């Protein structure tokens, strides 16, 4: 019988699989989509000339996010700092040219006029991107895992506790499929799990309420990315960073999304300003509207291709109806890491994961790795009949270094050498 069933092939699920394999814990990962990565999605470089385009998470912050920074380094992935001269091209009137204004990191506001000096790096706080798009991270992790343990196209419908084991009921190509495992990890946004899965016995009401009340980060957002002929914005104030705040705005925020080497292509990306409820009415005209707005910001000589668009509110494996209803609320980052979501269920046979369960870095890639580290310690301790692992002060399980590779480990088992806390 399968020891651990991991449901969800985003970064948390992949990192946990990586860790369990390194410790010889029997696992299989089940992903509803035909692809891995969850909210991590980059368009392939072959889809039009130029670089891959991130339509999900784009950044990580080396100064404050050690786990993702170490993982990227251990995987040997090339990174580049986000272009940031401390200024933003503000377009607050569709009838006027944009103004390059300094960003004040202390207040989060722009200067009143262009005479205020800018502080390089103030806008993005030292954010970095992956040179091959954030999907390079997913590809690198998946390449180090056995392909037959990564089961795609499995849509979980229900979980039934049978005492010593849990039954997972999936749909695969429209056909029902049952799997049994000793333990199950839901490496999913808690709200999505609460809305889409049937639990037997039902989850305790306080837990079900906490899951439903936990917003899924970027669930109702939409992103657009455009390949351009040349990065003409790089020699100008703002280096591609722009905010559009007038009522007719199509993209609320724009930034440089291209490679460091301009000979390898150029790109801009941004977040769609229209709310989730508005976007369907504008869908057909969005490419033209985006092209027009970018021309207002940077000129007609961009040589932009048709935008790549992704509306996450249309993704049933990310966004729930509650997320759509909450779309009009403030865009401030939610508070994550509710301790209720970190407790074992069904006598340790069911665990909740996903970035939203982490207190440190919750909602970000860092949070996905923090959740994977917590689960790894709990699951490996249970597999080895070890003592309970205490929770750290920040609500996540304290990360411990990975042990040396066990004798006889398969040659080339790269996961055992990674040093990030989830490994």
Could you report the per-residue pLDDT of 285-298, keeping only the tens digit for each? 999 999 999 999 99
Rounded CA-CA distance 397/155 in Å is 29
Lowest pLDDT segment from 130-139, 215-224, 384-393? 384-393
The pLDDT assigned to 332 comes to 77
The pLDDT assigned to 202 comes to 97
For residue 70, the surrounding DSSP H or E stretch is helix 66-74
The pLDDT assigned to 8 comes to 98
- Residue found by looking up tokens 């870095």 in the block: 361
The pLDDT assigned to 394 comes to 37
- Taking residues 298-307, report their average pLDDT: 90
Cα 311 to its chain centre, rounded Å, is 14
Lowest pLDDT segment from 33-37, 63-67, 227-231? 227-231
Rounded CA-CA distance 256/290 in Å is 15
Q: Model confidence at 42, in pLDDT bands (50, 70, 90)?
A: very high
Domains of the chain plus CATH, in order, are: 2-40+136-215+333-417 (3.50.50.60), 44-133+218-325 (3.90.660.10)
- Taking residues 143-172, report their average pLDDT: 98
Rounded CA-CA distance 29/138 in Å is 14
Could you report the per-residue pLDDT of 182-210, keeping only the tens digit for each? 999 999 999 999 999 999 999 999 999 99
The pLDDT assigned to 16 comes to 98
Instruction: Kindly tell me the burial class for residue 381, based on how many C-beta atoms sit within 10 Å of its own C-beta (0-12, 13-18, 19 or more).
Output: middle
> How many residues can be counted in the chain?
423
The pLDDT assigned to 45 comes to 53
Helices 365-383 and 11-22, axial angle in degrees (round to 10): 30
- Which backbone phi and psi does 55 adopt, to 5 degrees? -110, 0
- Asked if 5 contacts 30 with a C-beta cutoff of 8 angstroms, the reply is yes
Q: Is the pLDDT of residue 404 over 80?
A: no
The pLDDT assigned to 318 comes to 97
Q: Is the pLDDT of residue 396 over 50?
A: no
């Amino acid at each position: 019988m399968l020891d651990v069933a991991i449901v969800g092939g985003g970064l948390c699920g992949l990192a946990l699989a990586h860790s369990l394999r390194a410790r010889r814990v029997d696992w299989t990962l089940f992903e509803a989509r035909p692809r891995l990565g969850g909210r991590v999605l980059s368009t392939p470089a072959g889809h039009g000339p130029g670089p891959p385009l991130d339509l999900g998470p784009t950044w990580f912050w080396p100064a404050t996010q050690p786990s993702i920074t170490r993982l990227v380094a251990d995987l040997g992935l090339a990174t580049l700092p986000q272009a940031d001269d401390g200024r933003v091209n503000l377009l607050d009137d569709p009838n006027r040219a944009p103004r390059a204004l300094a960003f004040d990191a202390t207040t989060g506001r722009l200067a009143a006029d262009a005479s205020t000096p800018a502080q390089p790096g103030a806008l993005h706080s030292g954010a970095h991107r992956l040179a091959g798009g954030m999907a390079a991270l997913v590809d690198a992790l998946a390449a180090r895992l056995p392909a037959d343990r990564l089961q795609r196209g499995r849509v979980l419908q229900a979980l039934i506790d049978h005492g010593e084991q849990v039954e997972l009921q999936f749909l695969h190509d429209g056909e029902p499929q049952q799997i049994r495992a000793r333990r199950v990890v839901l490496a999913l946004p808690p709200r999505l799990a609460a809305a889409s899965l049937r639990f037997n016995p039902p989850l305790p009401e306080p837990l079900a309420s906490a899951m439903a009340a936990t917003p899924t980060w970027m669930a109702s957002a939409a992103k657009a990315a455009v390949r351009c002929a040349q990065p003409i914005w790089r020699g100008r104030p703002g280096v591609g960073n722009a905010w559009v705040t007038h009522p007719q705005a199509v993209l609320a925020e724009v930034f440089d999304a291209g490679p460091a080497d301009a000979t390898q292509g150029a790109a801009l990306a941004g977040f769609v300003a229209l709310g989730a409820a508005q976007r369907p009415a504008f869908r057909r005209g969005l490419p033209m509207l985006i092209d027009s707005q970018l021309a207002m910001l940077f000129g007609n000589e961009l040589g932009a291709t048709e935008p790549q668009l992704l509306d996450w509110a249309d993704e049933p494996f990310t966004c729930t109806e509650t997320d759509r209803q909450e779309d009009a609320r403030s865009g401030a980052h939610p508070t994550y890491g509710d301790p209720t979501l970190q407790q074992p269920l069904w006598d340790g046979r069911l665990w909740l994961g996903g970035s939203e369960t982490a207190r440190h870095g919750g909602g970000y890639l860092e949070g996905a790795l923090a959740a994977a580290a917590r689960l790894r310690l709990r699951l490996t301790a249970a597999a080895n009949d070890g003592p309970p692992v205490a929770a750290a002060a920040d609500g996540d399980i304290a990360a411990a270094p990975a042990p040396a590779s066990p004798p006889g480990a398969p040659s080339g088992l790269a996961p055992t050498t990674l040093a990030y806390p989830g490994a």
